A = this chain, B = another copy of it.
């Protein structure tokens, strides 16, 4: 047979992690099967093991890469929206899409439940808090208002994180259960308004 396709270790590793990530998002690390991942890539599972080492190493690698992707994607989304100076709503919308469309919201939920996530993984919320708080202080000083508490900004970031995170994987169910199906985007706009009025106080 001349149907063997020889890849570089980097190519193979990349393809394997890409395939494994799909399974991670769909069913968590518990449902990652070496044979399935290998089949998706188009290789045999001994070849997968040759490149990755073990199932545990695969899960570790795909989790680490997922954390990095989440952080990169979200930070990038925030950066892009922030430079446009268009308020909170676009930032919220972009971050939500980053969590939802890519499946990284689900992936993060799986990893947190599996205790595979550490506080320094995922999104480092403290940098977001610091950035947001600096912006608030600038606005307040310009308008001559008193400087807000740091903790207040942290809580605003947290309620946003919780809302977007939960909505990214439980949103459809929640909105339907609440009797307001397909109002996800309206909710996010409502959340942005809430934050703006709250943060101005």
Q: Residue among A28, A161, A179, A183 with the most chain B CB within 10 A?
A: A179
Q: Is the CB of A166 within 8 A of B166?
A: yes
Majority SS of interface residues in chain A?
helix
Interface string of A102-113 (1 = CB under 8 A from B): 000010011011
Please measure, in the bound complex, the distance between the C-alpha atom of A187 and the C-alpha atom of B129, giving whole angstroms: 14
With A119-B176, A120-B177, A173-B117: A183-B110 Cβ-Cβ less than 8 Å: no
Residues of chain A at the chain B interface (Cβ within 8 Å): 27-28, 30-31, 106, 109-110, 112-114, 117-120, 122-126, 128-129, 151-152, 154-155, 157-159, 161-163, 165-167, 169-170, 172-180, 183, 186-187, 190-191, 194, 198
